Chains A and B, each alone.
Chain A
């Protein structure tokens, strides 16, 4: 009987690991957009930077490609956060004192250029063939896939919980209050002596670092990355997750990630099962149309998402 269970368990934990990786990206986006109102259209670029940074540091030496330092996975994760955080800080420094749209346009450009570099700088990124042999946590368990997936699931769940708790504390800290104050009324915050550009820059870099971490975790789980994994439809999915879940709410970001990822995976399975191969590319396009319509509809009909932002009132006030 156990034999029948292993397949579903393996698939469920594989699915959940990827859902949690998406949840981590979504939490990063929530820091940028939900809490600070910064619009990032190049989410996938920051995820890819993290994935590649970690891959280059942790893979064994490889011919014809820079990197391959065989460093521990944890070093890769940290480097991913630093790399994505640094690029975010640079983008923020260039655009945050300007109009909000310029940040959007520049992040879009980052995603385009990261894709270009991933595809064409073969000496750095392996080009279209990508980077293989990325060390995987718990690789010794790989002979029993269910066990391997479960161990990874536990590890990533811990990371997500730690990040979630940390972000919740941050949101309630003076720093988080300043962020919301700036988002709601920039002038009032300035009048209280807060420098909006500096706080926005910090929030943007923190969000970017989380996206980088998510990219690295995903890369180490699969063990292989290629440019085609990092196209604009990922940016789009993560946005749908945050908007559906409720921007401004960390729990909403995680629930939205799980929900949209479930819809996305289920529709993928249905397409693979029911749609003839000749029609598959078209059916895949239909999926993206559906998400586009979902996103636009949510923005118009229910901009708060499923669970919107909690109203933050001082705990010294009576709750009524």
Chain B
């Protein structure tokens, strides 16, 4: 095993973490495991691809990578628009599906509805873009030494920085702002939050928007580093859930810590057993957490 697993593990941990924050927030505030969250990731990647090709058709040269990066200004611009679009998708899904079931039926039938939505969105992406993988850029990136006998591509370094910035931003939002406090209040006790003057519906919409936007960012990163496929988000779903539960449902820093553990563990699994066994590690973590400490790292006993 080489120390290189550290770079690969951190990178996939960051990708999983951005998705897992959305899973853990919707889970704690709306009270259900959203199986469609993986599709937000895929949708964000495809939306970026589509908008970026539009931008590069309008602005000549905007599809060239910046400096040593393969990431172009068109993709950067498009990723912001895609974040808004994915947030819109999450809100629309909530409006036409989840909000109709909320409060009326058992929480588990909302889980089932999200499972149906997941399948439908994924198949729609397959319909629109076929299952052939797509790429943001055909440029080949060379990994360079970055010290401590580690190597990383310029893209990896840039994306790690972006992920870290997004994480710090979300953490500040949750802990230092009024809307963050409202979110924690709703997650704790929706009825009491409403009495205390918190706009519960607006808070729920905000959670969907943040979850969708972060998932979209995760999808763009995955697309830049690997490729874009309709199943890319679905394949990430098990690590997302495992990270959210390992971190303790409702805790954003916990989810990110869980994601880093799973990312590193996956990288080690790939080294030891081969890349085809990558997904097995998340399942192992899931079982161990549920047996040993179901409340997760940061969770409180319920």
Chain B proximity of A49: nearest CB distance (Å)? 15
Q: Does B237 contact A (CB under 8 A)?
A: yes
- CA A236 to CA B113, docked complex, whole Å: 11
- CA A285 to CA B115, docked complex, whole Å: 16
Chain A residue with minimal CB distance to B107?
A100
Q: Does A265 contact B (CB under 8 A)?
A: no
Q: Does A302 contact B (CB under 8 A)?
A: no
Q: Does B150 contact A (CB under 8 A)?
A: no
A300 touches B113 (CB 8 A): yes
Chain A residues in 8 Å Cβ range of B287: 94, 106, 109
Known: A37-B106, A108-B237. A288 touches B120 (CB 8 A): yes
A112 touches B238 (CB 8 A): yes
A281 touches B130 (CB 8 A): yes
Chain A residues in 8 Å Cβ range of B279: 112-113, 116
Which secondary structure characterizes the binding site on chain B?
helix
A108 touches B238 (CB 8 A): yes
- CA A105 to CA B108, docked complex, whole Å: 12
Interface 9-mer from B12-20, B51-59, B97-105, B207-215:
B97-105
- CA A108 to CA B105, docked complex, whole Å: 22
B108 touches A108 (CB 8 A): no
Interface 9-mer from B3-11, B27-35, B165-173, B177-185:
B27-35
Q: Does B109 contact A (CB under 8 A)?
A: yes
A292 touches B123 (CB 8 A): yes
- CA A41 to CA B109, docked complex, whole Å: 12
Q: Does B291 contact A (CB under 8 A)?
A: yes
Which secondary structure characterizes the binding site on chain A?
helix
Chain A residues in 8 Å Cβ range of B282: 109
B124's partner among A106, A116, A289 (CB-CB below 8 A) is: A289
Q: How many residues of B contact A (CB 8 A)?
A: 46
Q: Does A66 contact B (CB under 8 A)?
A: no
| Chain A positions 223-240 with a Cβ under 8 Å from a chain B Cβ | 232-233, 236, 239
Residue in A102, A116, A292, A300 whose Cβ sees the most chain B Cβ within 10 Å = A292
Chain A residues in 8 Å Cβ range of B118: 292
A299 touches B127 (CB 8 A): no
- CA A25 to CA B81, docked complex, whole Å: 44
Chain B proximity of A107: nearest CB distance (Å)? 11
Known: A101-B108, A299-B109. A293 touches B120 (CB 8 A): yes
- CA A285 to CA B105, docked complex, whole Å: 30
| Chain A positions 92-121 with a Cβ under 8 Å from a chain B Cβ | 94-95, 98, 100-102, 104-106, 108-110, 112-113, 116, 119-120
Q: Give the number of residue pairs across the A-B interface with Cβ within 8 Å.
A: 127
Chain B residue with minimal CB distance to A295?
B116
B283 touches A39 (CB 8 A): no
Q: How many residues of A contact B (CB 8 A)?
A: 40
Residue in A101, A106, A108 whose Cβ sees the most chain B Cβ within 10 Å = A101
Known: A94-B287, A104-B33, A300-B101. A109 touches B113 (CB 8 A): no
| Chain B positions 86-106 with a Cβ under 8 Å from a chain A Cβ | 97, 100-101, 105-106
B33 touches A105 (CB 8 A): yes
| Chain B positions 195-248 with a Cβ under 8 Å from a chain A Cβ | 234, 237-238, 241-242, 245
A289 touches B101 (CB 8 A): no
Q: Does A241 contact B (CB under 8 A)?
A: no
Q: Does A67 contact B (CB under 8 A)?
A: no
Chain A residue with minimal CB distance to B282?
A109
Chain A proximity of B259: nearest CB distance (Å)? 15
Chain B residues in 8 Å Cβ range of A6: none
User: Across chains A and B, which 4 residue pairs bring their CB atoms closest together, nearest first?
Assistant: A292-B120, A288-B123, A295-B116, A285-B126
Query: Chain A residues in contact with chain B, CB under 8 A?
Result: 37, 39, 41, 94-95, 98, 100-102, 104-106, 108-110, 112-113, 116, 119-120, 232-233, 236, 239, 243, 281-282, 285-289, 291-293, 295-296, 299-300, 303
A-B contact pairs, 11 of them (CB 8 A): A37-B108, A101-B107, A102-B294, A104-B108, A108-B241, A236-B119, A285-B124, A286-B127, A295-B115, A299-B101, A299-B113
New contact pairs (9) apart from A113-B283, A286-B123, A289-B127, CB-CB < 8 Å: A101-B111, A110-B283, A113-B280, A120-B276, A281-B130, A285-B124, A286-B127, A288-B123, A296-B113
